[in-house]
């Protein structure tokens, strides 16, 4: 059934507006009607981990388990939000910290507050016994969603007076003072899993969810602290205001990673403002269970970056500077998206809600493709590749490798950071496939303001200096090129500020790229879902239980 928790939030005007709406945080729970046999359960889990590259990564790098990475799991369900340690095959004491609706933290699990949904999500995320993607994470903070939205991301400012955008409580004007005022307090977790969506309440079903409000809160938080939010887009049954988007907040945030379900019930993009979401998909009966797979993969990459995977002193960076760049939220997102495998039917051209043809950087159903953390790790491990030139679109020395990543910045609309590649001849009948993904953040936005996005473009020039393709969406903070049948020769991959777009201050970005020969592996059909059906893939019930809170 659908469980929920509710809270009060301003929906128009300034952050401290007195106009409030009661919203529901919905999380999908699957009742254990058909229990899977241990053998069927083990086969299902093994199939999932194999499909997303975890099995291959573990075979070659068994030390990559998420060690030393602190994560968080935010769960809806009122008081019933806690992960049972036994359900995730982890220690009963010291591994999880529970933070309830009143903000009180406890290291002791309460069976009265258990959530079956939370246990299943946690099992995919960090479960032991060969079930989870990142079973070795250092610690898990298990949050009640109402408290997390209101007091963590929301900054605990509900009782503060209305303040102008230039006040000291505004992180744009003074981030340090804003933190001192209790605005958006930092949390220890680096990766946060959010297998829930925010929907209108039963009391005000016609009042739309203030997407832009939540986008600002989450995007500001990420830009301030580098927190990696991984959020499910929803199962597609709920739609926002016209033009009928199935992408639900908090997955609508620019700087977060929005996850769809591959082979299961899932929302399809774009967002209400035309942006490409989801960012990526993973196997699952619903997005509640595909999302923690991506969260676990992010934790693995953070660990790999922390230990200096791919570091070379020849790059001119210190080990600590390299680790900071390798684990930046933009780098992790770019690597995850660029390592994804394109399923059959993936396309950047699609029919939008108005019946017209639209082109975006990602596919509206599959995002960048199906998660494959082994591919992402391989690109990280190849190491950072700085631009060969940072002026006009001219070539320099070829990059050391045709696979890799960079963390850099564009300062002006006229600047072009160029990455040059000299692709060697291949055997007859073979060719190169390029996947390149560019990611940057929406910067800090006043709470009563409108988000402004610096516009970056990703271009590919061919052996004769001709422009082969470009990704230049003016609404997205992700650009992607996916080009097949490229011949040998000189290529220039260029990151630049779009002259006709909005461009302000210097914009840090992450770029991941892979010129692959031969064409990459195909994605297995989601036969794993037949196994999941034995116990995990039951139809989702659509009924909501709602609990009202007095408005203030």
Instruction: Look up residue 152 and give its DSSP letter.
Output: I
Q: What is the mean pLDDT of the chain?
A: 82
- Residue 75's H or E segment, with its range, is strand 70-75
The topology (CATH level 3) of 385-516 is: Jelly Rolls (2.60.120)
> Which ranges in the chain are annotated with CATH 3.40.50?
2-298+528-532
Predicted confidence band of residue 203 (pLDDT cuts 50, 70, 90):
confident
Are the C-beta atoms of residues 216 and 451 closer than 8 Å to each other?
Answer: yes
Instruction: Compare 521 and 511 and report the one with higher pLDDT.
Output: 511
Output the pTM of the full model. 0.87
pLDDT in tens, 337-353: 999 999 999 999 887 76
pLDDT in tens, 293-324: 999 999 999 999 999 999 999 888 999 999 99
The structure tokens listed for 65 are 């388990």
pLDDT in tens, 466-501: 999 999 999 999 999 999 999 999 999 999 998 766
Q: Is the pLDDT of residue 51 over 90?
A: yes
In the chain, % helix, strand, coil (3-state, to 5) comes to 25, 25, 50
> Which ranges in the chain are annotated with CATH 2.60.120.380?
385-516
Q: What CA–CA distance (Å, rounded) separates 18 from 11? A: 9
pLDDT of 178: 54
How many CB atoms sit inside 10 A of residue 492's CB? 23
Q: Domain 2-298+528-532 is in which class?
A: alpha beta
Predicted confidence band of residue 171 (pLDDT cuts 50, 70, 90):
low
Q: What CA–CA distance (Å, rounded) separates 296 from 49? A: 11
Rounded mean pLDDT, 129-150? 95
pLDDT in tens, 76-120: 988 999 999 999 999 988 999 999 999 999 999 999 999 999 999
**For the chain, percent of residues with pLDDT exceeding 90:** 59
Q: Which of 530, 538, 526, 525 is nearest to 40 (CA)?
A: 530
Rounded mean pLDDT, 131-156? 92
Strands (DSSP E) contained in 344-500 are 349-351, 357-359, 403-410, 416-423, 432-440, 456-461, 467-471, 478-486, 489-497
Q: Which of 34, 36, 29 is nearest to 4 (CA)?
A: 29
Which residue reads 């909501």 in tokens? 544
């Amino acid at each position: 059934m659908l469980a929920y928790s509710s809270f009060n939030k301003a929906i128009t005007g300034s952050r401290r507006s007195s106009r409030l709406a009661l919203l529901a945080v919905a999380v999908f729970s699957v009742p254990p009607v058909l229990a899977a046999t241990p053998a069927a359960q083990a086969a299902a889990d093994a199939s999932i981990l194999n499909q997303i590259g975890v099995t291959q990564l573990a075979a070659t790098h068994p030390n990559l388990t998420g060690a030393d990475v602190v994560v968080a799991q935010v769960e809806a369900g009122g008081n019933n939000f806690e992960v049972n340690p036994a359900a995730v095959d982890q220690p009963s004491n010291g591994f999880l910290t529970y933070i309830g609706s009143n903000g009180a933290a406890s290291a002791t699990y309460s069976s009265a507050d258990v959530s079956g949904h939370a246990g299943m999500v946690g099992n995919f995320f960090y479960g032991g016994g060969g079930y989870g993607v990142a079973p070795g994470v250092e610690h898990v903070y298990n949050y009640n969603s109402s408290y997390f939205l209101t007091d963590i991301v929301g900054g605990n400012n509900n009782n503060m007076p209305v303040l102008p955008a230039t006040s000291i409580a505004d992180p744009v004007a003074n981030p340090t003072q804003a933190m001192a005022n209790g605005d958006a307090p930092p949390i220890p977790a680096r990766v946060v899993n959010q297998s829930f969506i925010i929907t209108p309440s039963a009391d005000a079903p016609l009042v739309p969810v203030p997407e832009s409000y939540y986008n600002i809160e989450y995007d500001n938080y990420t830009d301030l602290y580098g927190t990696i939010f991984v959020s499910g887009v929803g199962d597609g049954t709920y739609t926002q205001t016209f033009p009928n988007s199935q992408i639900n907040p908090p997955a609508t945030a620019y700087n977060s990673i929005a996850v769809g379900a591959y082979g299961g019930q899932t929302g399809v993009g774009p967002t209400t403002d035309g942006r490409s979401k989801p960012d990526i998909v993973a196997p699952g009966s619903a997005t509640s269970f595909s999302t923690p797979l991506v969260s676990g993969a992010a934790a693995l990459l953070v660990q790999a970056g922390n230990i200096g995977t791919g570091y070379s002193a020849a790059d001119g960076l210190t080990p600590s500077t390299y680790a900071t760049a390798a684990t930046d939220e933009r780098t992790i997102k770019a690597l995850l998206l660029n390592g994804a495998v394109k399923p059959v039917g993936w396309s950047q051209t699609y029919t939008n809600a108005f019946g017209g043809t639209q082109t975006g950087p990602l596919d509206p159903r599959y995002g960048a493709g199906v998660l494959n953390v082994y591919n992402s790790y391989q690109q990280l491990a190849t190491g950072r590749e700085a631009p060969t030139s940072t002026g006009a679109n001219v070539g320099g020395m070829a990059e050391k490798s045709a696979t890799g990543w960079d963390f850099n910045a564009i300062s002006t609309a006229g600047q072009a950071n160029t990455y040059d590649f000299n692709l060697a001849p291949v055997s007859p009948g073979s060719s190169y496939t390029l996947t390149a993904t560019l990611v940057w953040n929406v910067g800090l936005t006043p709470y009563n303001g409108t988000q402004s996005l610096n516009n970056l473009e990703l271009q590919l020039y061919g052996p004769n200096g001709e422009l082969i393709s470009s990704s230049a969406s003016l609404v997205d903070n992700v650009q992607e090129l996916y080009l097949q049948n490229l011949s040998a020769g000189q290529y220039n991959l260029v990151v630049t500020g779009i002259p006709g777009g909005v461009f302000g201050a210097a914009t840090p970005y992450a770029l991941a790229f892979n010129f692959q020969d031969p064409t990459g592996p195909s994605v297995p059909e989601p036969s794993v879902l037949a196994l999941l059906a034995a116990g995990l893939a039951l139809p989702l019930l659509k009924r909501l239980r709602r609990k009202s809170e007095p408005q203030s």
